[in-house]
Every structure is written in structure tokens, then in C-alpha cells.
Chains A and B, each alone.
Chain A
């Protein structure tokens, strides 16, 4: 399945874009997505941390991704 991944803050700079498409097998989890992203964009590994949000909520590593999900890379937040 093809998934569109949104990127914000420093993640946007690391990807060089506000979004990217990735290819994962059906039933792939957030953990598998993270591994793929870290491989494609090694600078993500240098961050203090990053989370994955699915449909506007923080998702755990065992969360199963579905086509059409709104998926985002959330680097360490710093609002306020």
C-alpha cells in the first residue's frame, strides 16, 4: 500500500518536503513505518525523538496502518 506521510518542523526540512509517499505491505505497523523512514532519512535518528500521528492522534508502535490514514511525523514539539 502507498501511504502519504506529512512532515512538520524539522522533519519537513529533513524530508525536504511537506509530505512524501512510502510503500509498505498491507497490515504494516507504525514501527515498520518508523524503520523505513529512519532508513530513508537517517537524520531522523539524530532527533531527540519523534512520534507518528495517525488521523490526528499519537499512535503506538503496534498501531496498524490503513490506506487513506492521515499520517504525520511529529518531531519534538516546542510550542508555547
Chain B
């Protein structure tokens, strides 16, 4: 099962876990991204996420498919939020269910690392004295 969502709504962590649970899996690995209150010590007020939604959904599905094929996963779920998020909010949840834990851990790590490199989603950090698009400049 592959479940990919981009939404402005609050993500429900338990619901995501329940969606990937199945009786033939020995474990679920979950990555929960959270909004940090600072970047290199500078106070972050909020983040603003923007997606090229049609392409982002396609890229996320590609990643999920790659992971399912490589690690023989039972289920992969990737949910990502857009819009304005505050400190402590959850912009991303990745949940992976597999027969054995090694596959689940490795796949989860691959999914978040690759998402950050290839999926067309952007975040802007808003500070007290300005804002910056993360990673935009060298």
C-alpha cells in the first residue's frame, strides 16, 4: 500500500500509523518532522511551506515505489503539509511497515533524505527581522 498526501490540514500521527499497520508486519518505522524554534541560534517565528503539488505528488510516489521495491515493504505513507506552520507543528510524517525492522529503518531514512533532495516543496523561514527561502542560496 502506498499512501501519499499533500494537505494544508493538521496531520494526525496516530491515524498515519494505523493506516500502515498490518498483521504480517513486525514493525512500523515513523519519521515525524517538527518545526524547530531556531536556525543556527536565530529565533524562528514560523515556516511557510509551498508545493508544486502535481509534481510533488508524482515525485513522492516515485520514492515510495522505489522503497517498496528495494526493501519489500508492506506499506509506505508520506504526508506533507503546506501553508503556515508554527514551532512544534508537524510538516511531514513518513510511516513504513515491513516484516522486519532493518528494512523499515533503512527505508524510512531513505524516504526522508530523498524527499528533502528531490520533491518540489519549499519552506521559507520567518525570523523577527526578515525571512529566507531555505537552501535557495549557496
User: Which residues of A pack against B, CB within 8 Å?
Assistant: 6, 8-10, 12-13, 46-48, 53, 56-58, 72, 74-80
Q: How far is the CB of B34 from chain A (nearest CB, A)?
A: 11
Contact call B119/A10, Cβ cutoff below 8 A: no
Cα distance, A78 to B116, chains bound together (Å): 6
Contact call B52/A79, Cβ cutoff below 8 A: no
Cα distance, A78 to B91, chains bound together (Å): 12
Q: How far is the CB of B115 from chain A (nearest CB, A)?
A: 5
Q: How far is the CB of A51 from chain B (nearest CB, A)?
A: 9
Q: How far is the CB of A72 from chain B (nearest CB, A)?
A: 6
| A9 contact from B50, B80, B116, B118, Cβ within 8 A | B50
What are the 8 A-B residue pairs with the smallest beta carbon separation, nearest first?
A: A79-B121, A9-B122, A78-B134, A10-B133, A56-B55, A76-B135, A80-B116, A10-B136
